[in-house]
Structure 1
Amino acid sequence: MKSHQVIKESCKKRGIKSIASEIGVSSSLMYKWSQPYDGSGSGSKNPLDRIVELINAIQDPIVIEWICEQSGGYFVRNPESRQEENYEVMPATNEIVAQFSALLGEISQAAQDNTIEKKESEKIRQVWNALKSFTEGFVLCCEEGDFKRIIEGEEKNQTG
């Protein structure tokens, strides 16, 4: 879906006028953002296009991560696709189970005294975020049938 289509679709429920008023822009600008931009037509370069330009210029996921946090979510980058014919399901499955076990271990260790300190919660968050990222990569590898790549990626993370 193109950025102008995302804006158009996302505004259908509440209405462009209502959203324009809430964010402090004119309805006509919102309508322009919801039309294709080609530099000569009635459309206008919209904030989504500008955010993509900013992300590409910065070349760091920090902007995406911040947007996801502001929206109550978490950014997980999809690993690059390098499907290979020879793959092994069990090592990848064992790795995801091991990471989940590590998360449970952190939680158990932190909760032993019936309180979880800030430093402990930060460590739990770190392990949880690593598990979410690994699991997203695992699911992509499942979809592509490339389990060797996920183990190679994990080995690189442990040594680097």
Structure 2
Amino acid sequence: MKSHEAIQGALKQSSPKQVAADLGISLSLIYKWAQPQDALGSGSRNPLDRIATMYDSTGDTGIIQWLCHHAGGYFVRNPDRSAEPPEHVMPATNEMVSQFATLLTSISQAADDNAITEEEAETIRHAWNELKSFAEEFVTCCEEGDFDPIRRANARSQSSPATS
């Protein structure tokens, strides 16, 4: 789906006039955002294209994660595909169990004194986000029968310093 198509879909769910008023911009700009950009100059570089460019420029998913959180969700990167032969399911399963154990350890350590500090909550959130990402990647690999992306992710995480 192209960005202008996503905007068209959103405008079907709402009033373009209200969106323009909420954003403090002209109605014509809203409509230009919903048109493809072409060589003739119709359409206008819309906010989705700008966010994509910002991501491409920085490589940082923070903005995307913020948008997903704002919409009540969570950003999970699709696994990389490779030409290498697939790995077996057991190492990936063991890694998921290990990450779940890390999450449970974080929770039990934080709750030990019947109070959870902001720092402890951040540690729990980090462990939970890591588990969610890995589980999504695991399910995708199950669907596709290719566990090599998980093997590579494990190798990267084991070679980088751990954070708590």
- Provide the TM-score with structure 1 as the length reference: 0.88
Q: Residue 26 of structure 1 aligns with which residue?
A: 26
How many residues are aligned here?
160
Q: Which runs of 5+ in 2 are unaligned?
A: none
CA distance in 1, matches of 2:113, 2:54: 45
Aligned to 1:111: 111
Aligned to 2:147: 147
Check the 8 A contact 1:83/1:145 in 2, yes or no: no
Is the 1:89–1:147 contact (alpha carbons within 8 Å) kept by the matching residues of 2? yes
Where does the alignment leave 5 or more consecutive residues of structure 1 unmatched? none
CA RMSD of aligned residues (A): 1.9
Aligned to 2:42, the other structure's residue is in SS state coil
Q: Which amino acid aligns with 2:67?
A: I
2:77 corresponds to which residue?
77
Q: CA deviation at 1:62?
A: 2.9
SS at match of 1:75: coil
* Displacement after TM superposition at 1:98 (Å): 1.9
- 1:138 maps to what in 2? 138
CA drift at 1:57 = 1.6
**CA contact 1:4–1:46 (8 Å) conserved in 2:** yes
TM-score (norm 2): 0.86
What is the CA-CA distance between 1:84 and the residue it aligns to? Answer: 4.2
Q: 1:128 is matched with which residue?
A: 128
Partners of 1:72 and 1:30 in 2: CA distance: 24
Q: Does 1:95 align with 2:95?
A: yes
Percent sequence identity over aligned pairs: 52
How big is the shift at 1:157?
0.5
Alpha-carbon offset, residue 79 of structure 1: 2.5
* Equivalent pair of 1:37/1:43 in contact (CA under 8 Å): yes
Matched residues in 2 for 1:52 and 1:147: separation? 28
Retained in 1: the 8 A contact 2:86–2:145? no
Report the AA paired with residue 55 of structure 2: I
